[in-house]
Amino acid sequence: MSVEEPRHDADAAAGRAFAPGAWLGLLGGGQLGRMFCMAAQSLGFRVLVLDPALDSPAGSVADRQLTADYLDPPALAALRTLCVAATTEFENVPAAALEFLARELRVAPGAASVAIAQDRIREKSFLADHGFAVAPFAVLRDAADIDSVDEALLPGIVKSARFGYDGKGQVRVKMRHEVGAAFDAMQGAAVLERMIDLATELSVIVARDDAGHVVSWPVAENRHRGGILDVSILPARIDAALADEARAIATGIASALEYRGVLSVELFVARGRGLVVNEIAPRPHNSGHYTIDACVTSQFEQQARILAALPMGDTSQHTPAVMLNLLGDIWFEGGAQSAREPDWSTVLAHPRAKLHLYGKREPRRGRKMGHVTCLGETLDDALAMAAAIKRTLGIADEDTSTT
C-alpha cells in the first residue's frame, strides 16, 4: 500500500468493506444512477447524487442530492467530506472530477478508465493497441486529415470523439466530399469508421474487483431502432463458441484497463469477419437492465458491491428474458399532440412482465422513459410477450437497424 493511497481505499485494499450506513457518492443522476441508488440502498448504504439538474431520476430516490455542475468545487468538497467512495453512472462526467475525488476517496471506476471510454479516439486506439479488433478507422482533427482520408474507409460513419450517445453525434458518409461537411458539423475531433456489414449486435457486461477477478453476465443480443437500443435478448441466440469469445474479449478489455467496477462492451458480429469491438462504457449498460429481474446479482448491485469493497455476487441468469425499452414516443401514440400516459395495466396484465419507469416528468420522442423485462419459461415465450407488449403500446416491431 503506497502512502499516497486514499484513506478509504487503503481500508478497502486491506479487505475492510464499508459498513452499511456509509455514504456512497454518485456522479450523474440518470436512470442508471436511479437503479444504482436502489441497489445500494438495499444493501444498507446511503447515496449522495451530484447532478446539474433538479429532480433527476437518481436524485429523486437518493438519500441526498446536490444540484451542481460536476466540477463545482463546493459540491465536490461536500461529496468528498460525506462519502467513503464514489462512482459514476455517466461516461461524460469530467475525468478531472473523479481525479479530484480519488485524492481522498475510493473511486471506481478510476479516472484513467473513464478518460479512455469517454473519448472515441483514445478508446479505439487503446483497443487496437491491445490487440482487440475494431472497425478500421481514421482520426479526424483538421483539414489535412480529411484530405488524406483513405477511400477504403468509405462508406463510413463520422463519429464525434466526445459526447455522442444513442446515435447522436454521428453522420453516415458515402463519398469523400461528405466527410469534410460531416466533420465540420461535429465541432471538435472525430473519427471516420468504416461501415461494417452487421450480422448482429452483442454486448457483454463484466465486473472486475480489486484483486483482478473478472466475472461476466451472459451475452446480450441487441436490436436498435433509429440509433437507440430497442430490445435486448438474453441469452443471445448465437453459438456457444461465439458467446465464449465475446465474454473473453470483454474480460480481456477489463483486465487491460486494470478496471475496477462494472464495464460494458458493445460488439458487432461482422458478416464474414467475426467479432469487432464497437465501444465500451465505464458503467452499467441499458442492455443489462434485465439483470435486475433475471439474474442472481444485477449489474447495479455489483457496482455497489465493488464500490463498497464487498465480495462480488453471482452473475448467473436464472430466467430467459427480453428487455424492451420504453421511449417517450409511446406517450404520443397515434399522433397525439400532447403527451398521454400509456395504459400500464396492459403491460402488467402479463404476470411475468416487470415494469420499470424512471420517474422522468417530461416524455419526449427518443427519450428513455423506462423498460419492461419480459420473463419467459423459454426465450420464445419472452419474445412472444415482448412482441405482444409492443403491439399494445404501439411500438413498431420491425428489426430495423440504425438509420
Ligand X SMILES: Nc1ncnc2c1ncn2[C@@H]1O[C@H](COP(=O)(O)OP(=O)(O)O)[C@@H](O)[C@H]1O
Among 89, 193, 209, 329, binds ligand X (CB under 6 A): 193
Stretch that binds Mg ion, among 22-30, 179-187, 263-271, 298-306 (CB under 5 A): 263-271
The torsion angle over the Cα atoms of residues 384, 385, 388 and 390, rounded to 10 degrees, is -110
CB of 209 to Mg ion, least distance (A): 26
- 163 burial (CB, 10 Å; 0-12 / 13-18 / 19+) is middle
Q: If binding is defined by CB under 6 A, does position 195 make contact with ligand X?
A: yes
Does the protein bind ligand X through residue 165 (CB under 6 A)? yes
Peptide bond into 342 cis (omega under 30): no
Collapsing DSSP to helix, strand or coil, 119 comes out as coil
Asked whether position 226 contacts ligand X by CB under 6 A, the answer is no
Q: Does 123 bind ligand X (CB under 6 A)?
A: no
- Residue from 27, 105, 157, 280 that binds ligand X (CB under 6 A)? 157
Question: What distance in Å separates the CA atoms of residue 184 and residue 69, rounded to the nearest whole number?
Answer: 28
CB of 202 to Mg ion, least distance (A): 12
Q: Does 400 bind ligand X (CB under 6 A)?
A: no
196 binds ligand X (CB under 6 A): yes
Binding to ligand X by residue 402, rule CB under 6 A? yes
State which of residues 52, 227, 313, 366 lies at the interface with ligand X (CB under 6 A): 227
How does strand 353-357 pair with strand 368-375? antiparallel
Containing 117, the helix (H) or strand (E) segment is: helix 111-117
Angle, vertex CA 267, rays to CA 263 and CA 269, nearest 5: 160
At what angle are helices 299-307 and 31-42 packed, to 10 degrees? Answer: 60
Please, is 385 exposed, middle or buried when counting C-beta atoms within 10 Å of its C-beta (0-12, 13-18, 19+)?
A: buried
Min separation Cβ 95 and ligand X, Å: 18
165 binds, among Mg ion, ligand X, none (CB under 5 to 8 A by kind): ligand X
Contact partner, 164, from Mg ion, ligand X, none, Cβ < 5-8 Å per class: ligand X
CA nearest to 374, candidates 350, 353, 346: 353
Cell triple for 11:
481500508
CB atoms within 10 A of CB 370: 22
Q: Which stretch binds Mg ion (CB under 5 A): 39-47, 71-79, 170-178, 260-268?
A: 260-268
Task: Give whichever of 41 and 402 is closer to ligand X, judged by the CB atom.
Answer: 402
- Which strands make up the sheet holding 170-173, listed edge to edge? 137-140, 190-194, 156-160, 170-173
Shortest distance, position 400 Cβ to ligand X, whole Å:
10
Nearer to Mg ion among residue 227 and residue 328 (C-beta):
227
Q: Which is nearer to ligand X, 203 or 297 (CB)?
A: 203
Among 278, 297, 298, 302, binds ligand X (CB under 6 A): 278
Structural contact between residues 294 and 353, judged by C-beta atoms closer than 8 angstroms? no
Query: Of residues 162-191, which lie at the interface with Mg ion (CB under 5 A)?
Result: none
Cβ proximity to ligand X, 8 vs 224, nearer residue: 224
Instruction: Tell me the window of 32-40, 159-167, 247-255, 309-317 that interacts with ligand X (CB under 6 A).
Output: 159-167
How, if at all, do strands 23-27 and 85-88 pair?
parallel
- 395 contact, one of ligand X, Mg ion, none, CB 5-8 Å limit per kind: none
Q: Which residues bind Mg ion (CB under 5 A)?
A: 266
Q: Which residues bind ligand X (CB under 6 A)?
A: 135, 157, 159, 164-167, 193, 195-196, 198, 201, 224, 227, 266, 278-279, 401-402
